[in-house]
Amino acid sequence: MLRTQSAATGISGTEERLSPIVRYVSLLFAVACMALTACGGQRDAAAARTTSVTGLRGMPLGEPLAKPTFLLTRTDGHAYDFARETQGKVALLFFGYTHCPDVCPLHMANIAAVLGKMPWEEREAIRVVFVTTDPERDTPVRLGSWLAGFDPEFVGLRGAPDTINAIQKSLGLVPASRQPSADSSKEYLVGHAAQVIAFGRDNVARVAYPFGTRQDDWAHDLPMLARGEGDTPAAAHHDTQPDVSLVERAIAPAVIVAGTDSARGAIYLTIRAGPMGDTLYSVTPIGGGVASLHVSTASAGSVTMKPTRSIAIPAGSLLAMRPGGMHVMLDLVSRRLVPGSSIPLELEFSAGKRVIVPGTVVTYAQLDSVLALARASFVAR
């Protein structure tokens, strides 16, 4: 009866004839279900990137990077000491620009999306610092509102292009460069490094996150970094451990005043040493030129200026250079000191620690008030 009915209806008969096909399709179906449940190959691909040492999915750096010390300006106009402000936190440092069509907004959006889902305790341990490589167009207002669109907690920093590039170089990143748009009618693009460098709570970066890092990867790594799981024991990396004095050192932007021939001038630094004390060994103008440390001594009613190899700063004390006292002589050789312009300087401290600070050229008339302002900022701290 059943057999007769099958032959007559066609449908059941078709099912019988197609049973191998149906079985094959069912197999495909089951495999596909499993693949979808596992969210496909992306997670597997990310897992394959897991480093054996840290367990993080970020791209391991060949050599761990010590957290750099630099001073830049926040979008609210206040100075931002990167090392000091991010001390003991995970710092995600990225160099980009707000007109970027792809990499920058994607990194920021993906990090913000993941941070938004993390518990407060972990999230609070993470700082996202975005340094613009296009300060010309990234005004404080634009940079601030652009970052706030992702997360109001993100920190936007601005500085002179030479300073930014010097910081990037110190981190082994390719400095940013302006590139014409493919369409000449459009605004220019800025080529820049595409990776986010993640400094752990121990102030050392062991991984970076290139373009292509997905939310899934961030969600895997950020809690680990926040818990300090990416950090390695101090003994294993004694050469990359941060210098305590470096970490707690604070430096105001340098003040530069031009001499009579405009190529030479004097640099005045205001530095507070950390609890271990500090020694300044050299100042180098980035972009060319020479600078030398000088001390002035008074004897028999006259002031004598002489070069010195170093300037020691006792623990916790303030070194406030001023005319007639300690200062740095500057000779740009082929460049001119133009009031209002910016010259980044690289300062070398104890243990070869180098710090890049911005220097602003002022006139003699402005000098006293600007230096007083720098000193006052330390008193306020």
Give the CB-side neighbour count of residue 381, counting CA atoms within 13 A. 21
Helices (H), 138-274: 140-148, 161-170, 215-226, 244-248
Task: For the CB of residue 134, give the shortest distance to other proteins in the complex, in Å.
Answer: 16
Tell me: does residue 9 bind other proteins (CB under 8 A): yes
Sheet with 250-251, strands from edge to edge, namely 250-251, 270-272, 318-320
Choosing from 3, 7, 16, 22, the residue that interacts with other proteins (CB under 8 A) is 22
Nearer to other proteins, 133 or 270 (CB): 133
214 lies in the binding site for other proteins (CB under 8 A): yes
Q: How far apart are CA 184 and CA 286, in angstroms?
A: 32
Site for other proteins, residues 104 to 123, rule: CB under 8 A: 105-106, 109-110, 113-114, 117
Burial 195-234 (b: 16+ CB within 10 A, else e): bbbbbbbbbbbbbbbeeebbebbbbbbbbbbbeeebbeee
Q: Is 35 in the site for other proteins (CB under 8 A)?
A: yes
CB of 189 to other proteins, least distance (A): 10
Among residues 116, 74, 75, 108, the alpha carbon closest in space to that of 92 is found at 108
Pick out residues in 141-170 that bind other proteins (CB under 8 A): 149
Across 97-237, where does the E strand assignment appear? 126-132, 155-158, 177-179, 189-191, 196-199, 204-209
Q: Is 14 in the site for other proteins (CB under 8 A)?
A: yes
| Residues 37-56 contacting other proteins, CB under 8 A | 39-42, 44
Report how many residues bind other proteins under the rule CB under 8 A.
Answer: 37
Beta strand spans in 67-164 (E):
69-74, 79-81, 90-96, 126-132, 155-158
Nearer to other proteins, 28 or 333 (CB): 28
Cβ proximity to other proteins: between 15 and 368 the closer is 15
Does position 137 interact with other proteins (CB under 8 A)? The reply is no
Quick check: 239 binds other proteins (CB under 8 A)? no
Write down the least CB distance from residue 206 to other proteins, Å.
24
Is residue 216 part of the contact set for other proteins (CB under 8 A)? yes
Task: Count Cβ atoms within 10 A of the Cβ of residue 27 and give its class: 0-12 exposed, 13-18 middle, 19 or more buried.
Answer: exposed
Interacting residue ranges for other proteins, rule: CB under 8 A: 9-11, 14-15, 17-18, 21-22, 25, 28-29, 32-33, 35-36, 39-42, 44, 101-102, 105-106, 109-110, 113-114, 117, 149, 211-212, 214-216, 219
